[in-house]
Chains A and B, each alone.
Chain A
Amino acid sequence: MTLLWLRFAVLLYGIAALAVLPAALYERPRWRHIAVPATIAAIFFHFVSLAETLNAAHHRLPVETHELQSFLALLLALAFLTVYARYRSVSLGIFVLPIVFLLATLAAFRPGEETFSTPIRNGWIFLHIVLLLAAYAALVVSLMASLLYLIQERRLKRKPSNRRWLATLDTPLETIDQIALKSLLFGLPCMTAGLLIGSVIAQADYGAKYFSDPKILLTFGLWIAYVAMIFIRRLSGLRGRRAVYLSSFVILVVLFVWAANQFSAVHRFSTP
C-alpha cells in the first residue's frame, strides 16, 4: 500500500514535470494551474507513503537508500513549492520536477538495501540526516537556478529573427539569481549543523580514528567547497556560466561523497 501511494505521487510528479514546460518555456501561464496543484497533491501522497514506509520499517528516520531518495525528492518538491509561493515562478520546475520524478521513481520501483549497520540514536541522527539532505537539496536548487539563469540570459540575448524568440521564462534574471544565492545561503547552515552533529556522535561512539576515513575527510572537503562557492559568488557577483561551473563542481563533490559512502568501511549503521 505504501508503494502504491508513492507510485501515485510519481504519476503526479510526472504530470507536474510535463505541465511546467509550457508554463515556463512557452509563456502559457494557464499550465501552471495543472503543475502546481499536481505537485501539491504529489507531495501529500509522497509524505503519506514515506510516513507509512518508516512506520512499517519500525524506525522514524530514512536510513535505507530508497528512503533517502524518497526523502530527498520530497525536500526538492517542497523547495519548488517554496520558490513558487515566494516568487510566483514555476521555472525552477523545469529541472527540479524531473529530478524529483526520477528520485521518487527509483524509490518506488527499486527499493534499496540497508545503508546503516550500527544502532541509531534516533533524535540526533535524524537531525544529522535531515539537515544534510536539506543542504543537498539546496545545492541542487542552486545549480538548477544557475542553469535557468543561463537559459534566460540566452533567450534575452537572442535576436528577434525567430518568431518565438521572446518566449522567455516567467522569472526575471535577477530573481533567478536571488533564488540561486538564497538557496545556497539556506544550505550552508544546514550542512554545517548536520556535519557538526554527525561529528559529535562519531567522536562519542568511535573516537578520533573515525575522522581519518577518506569519505569523512571528503565530506569536510565538501563543506569547504560550499563555503568557498558562497564566498566567491558574493565577492565577485558570479553569475551565468561561471556560476553553473562552480555549482556543478560542488555537486560533483556531493556525488563523490555519496558514492564513497557505498565503499567506506565506516558510516554504516543498522536499524534497530
Chain B
Amino acid sequence: MSATQTRRQPIQRLTIVAPATQAAAAQPHEGALVLVGINHTTAPIEVRERLAIPAARLPDAVRALTQQPGIREALILSTCNRVEFLTLQDQPGEETTRSLLRFLHEYFAVPAAIVEPHLYEFREREAVRHLFRVASSLDSMVVGEPQILGQVKEAYSVARQAGTVSAALDPLLQRAFSVAKRVRTETQIGSSSVSVASVAVDLARKIFGSLHGKTVLIVGAGKMSELAARHLIQQGATSILVANRTQERAAQLAGQVADLISMQLANGPIAIHGAGLACTTEVVPFDQLHAQAARADIVLTSTGSEHPLFDPTHGRQFLERRRNRPMFFIDIAVPRDVDPQMNQVEGCFVYDIDDLQQVAAAHLADRGRESAAAEKIVGSEVDLYLQRLQVREAVPAIVALQQNAESLRQAEIARTAAKLAASAEPLTPAQQAAIDALTRSLTAKLLHPQLAALRKKSE
C-alpha cells in the first residue's frame, strides 16, 4: 500500500507503510526514523481533540516522549487538523512502535483502542516524504494554506528549546522548511484565496490596491459580515461604519470592531504604514443608510431583508456623490441585499455569496492542479535528501579505510628501514623515495575496488 493510499483511505489499523527491503535500503540515519500520527483524513474531530496538545504543554510533552525507551529524538506537531509524532528510534521494530503507543495512552489517558484505528505510521523514506508534504501544505485540509509551515516551525522551535532534536532531526527539519519554500516559490499553490472572506478581501485589493484608509460600511450585524470585516480591517481598512435595524446590535458590533482596530494599531502593520490615519468606527442609523452609503468604498451587506436594499438608481447616485470613485458591494445576504443589476453601473462592483464561493472553489481547483507540480518537487527533494545523507554516511568509512591502509604502509616501511639500517648497506635517499612511491601506488591500487564500491553504494 502506498503512502498516498494510506493517507486517503480511512485506516483500520496501524499500518507499516514502507516495505522492509525499501526501508532498509533507504534508511538514512543510525536509528530508525518513524512518524506516527492522526489527521483530518484519518480521525474525526472527537479523536483529534483528545490528542491535541496545547502550546503551553508542548515542551513537556516532547520531553516526555524522548524519555520513552528506544526514542532518541522527537518532535510533536499539534494543530487543529493533525497530531504527529516524529521520532528517531534506536532500532526499527514493533517494540518501539509499542512504546509510542504506550506514550499516547499514558500521556493522554486515551485507550489504545480509540486511537489505534486512526493512526498512520511512516518509516524512513516515507516519513521524510510525509514531513516534506506536511510542511509544503500538500497534506493540509485546504491544500496550499500558509499556516502549516509556521506551525511546523513552531513545533521545531519548541523541540529545539526542549533539546529533543539534534543530529538527525535538525537537518531533516531544516530541509523540510527549504522544500516548503521551494514549493511556494516554484508553484502557485498558495497564490490565491480559498475562503469567502479572503476572496472578498482579494477582490477589494484588485479594485483599490491598498485598503489603508478605506471606509467600510457594514450593513447587518451577522457573523459572516463580522468575519469579512475582520479580514478587511486586517488589510488596513480603518474607517468602519455600521448600520443595523437594531441600533443596540450595531453599537455592539461597532465596539467589537473598534477593539479590533485598536489591536491592529498596536500590533499590526497599520501602526507602521498608516501613521496619521483617522481610525474610527461609527454607527449609522438605518434610516440614514442611503444618505451615508456613498461615504463607503466597500459596502458589506448581510441583512435578513426580503427586498434589495440597494438598486442601480442608488448606485448611480452614490457614484455621482463620490465623483465616480469605484464602490465595491460584498453581498453575503440571502435573499440578496444588492440588486444584481447594480453590477451594470459603471464603477459599481457587486459580488454575492455565490460569486465569492465560486471564486473560492475555482481557486481551490487551481491549487489541486498546482499540487501535482508540488508533489514532483517533494519527490525529487526526498531523493536528494536521502542521497546526501548516504554520501555523508559513507565518508567516515572511506576515511577509516584509507587511514588504516596508510598506517599499515607506514609500519611496513618502518620495519623494512630498521632491518636495512642494521645491515651494512642502508638505503640512499633516492631509494627511500622510490620505496615510498612504490608502496603508495600499491596501496592505492589495492584500495581502489573497495573505495569505488563504497562510493557507488552511497550514490
Contacts and interface: CB of A to CB of B under 8 A. Distances in A.
Contact of A241 (B325, B346, B365): B346
Nearest to B360: A160
Given A157-B349, A237-B322, A175 B209 contact: yes
A173 B322 contact: no
A236 B323 contact: yes
B206 A237 contact: no
Contact of B324 (A152, A160, A237): A237
B23 interface: no
A163 interface: yes
A173 B326 contact: yes
A156 B203 contact: yes
A225 interface: no
B228 to A, nearest CB: 18
A243 to B, nearest CB: 9
A181 to B, nearest CB: 12
Interface string A147-160: 00000110011011
Given A160-B362, A163-B362, A173 B346 contact: no
Nearest to A150: B346
A237 B325 contact: yes
B358 interface: yes
Contact of A173 (B191, B207, B323, B359): B207
Interface string B191-228: 11000000000010111110000000000000000000
Contact of A160 (B192, B346, B349, B355): B355
A173 B206 CA distance: 6
A194 B203 CA distance: 42
B349 A168 contact: no
Contact of A172 (B209, B347, B355): B209
| Dominant secondary structure at the A interface | loop
A60 B205 CA distance: 47
B207 A172 contact: yes
Interface string A164-183: 01101000111100000000
A240 interface: yes
Nearest to A234: B323
Contacts of B355: 159-160
A193 B191 CA distance: 46
Interface string B344-364: 001101000001001100110
Chain A CB within 10 A, most for which of B206, B349, B365: B206
Contacts of B209: 172-175
B343 interface: yes
A175 B205 CA distance: 11
A166 B203 CA distance: 9
A185 interface: no
A239 interface: yes
A232 B358 CA distance: 39
A218 interface: no
A28 to B, nearest CB: 9
Nearest to B322: A237
A30 to B, nearest CB: 9
A188 to B, nearest CB: 20
A172 B208 CA distance: 6
Interface residues of A, number: 22
Chain A CB within 10 A, most for which of B192, B343, B346: B346
Contacts of B358: 160-161
B322 A166 contact: no
Interface string B127-147: 000000000000000000000
A236 B324 contact: yes
B362 A156 contact: no
A160 B343 CA distance: 13
Interface in B15-68: none
Contact of A240 (B206, B207, B347): B347
A156 B349 contact: yes
Nearest to A168: B206
A238 B323 CA distance: 8
Interface string B168-202: 00000000000000000000100110000000000
B390 to A, nearest CB: 34
Chain B CB within 10 A, most for which of A161, A237, A238: A237
Contacts of B208: 172-174
Contacts of A153: 346
A241 to B, nearest CB: 7
Interface string B249-293: 000000000000000000000000000000000000000000000
Contacts of B188: 27
Contacts of B362: 160, 163, 165-166
Contacts of A166: 192, 359, 362-363
Nearest to B326: A173
Nearest to A176: B209
Contacts of B203: 156
B359 A238 contact: no
A242 B285 CA distance: 36
B295 to A, nearest CB: 15
Nearest to A162: B362
B359 A172 contact: no
B377 to A, nearest CB: 15
A172 B346 CA distance: 16
Contacts of A165: 359, 362
A172 B349 contact: no
B359 to A, nearest CB: 5
Contacts of B192: 166
Nearest to B343: A157
A27 to B, nearest CB: 8
Contacts of B207: 156, 172-174
Interface in B297-344: 322-326, 343
Interface in A120-171: 152-153, 156-157, 159-161, 163, 165-166, 168
7 contacts: A160-B355, A160-B358, A161-B358, A165-B359, A173-B326, A175-B209, A239-B324
Question: Closest 3 interchain pairs by CB?
Answer: A237-B323, A172-B209, A237-B324
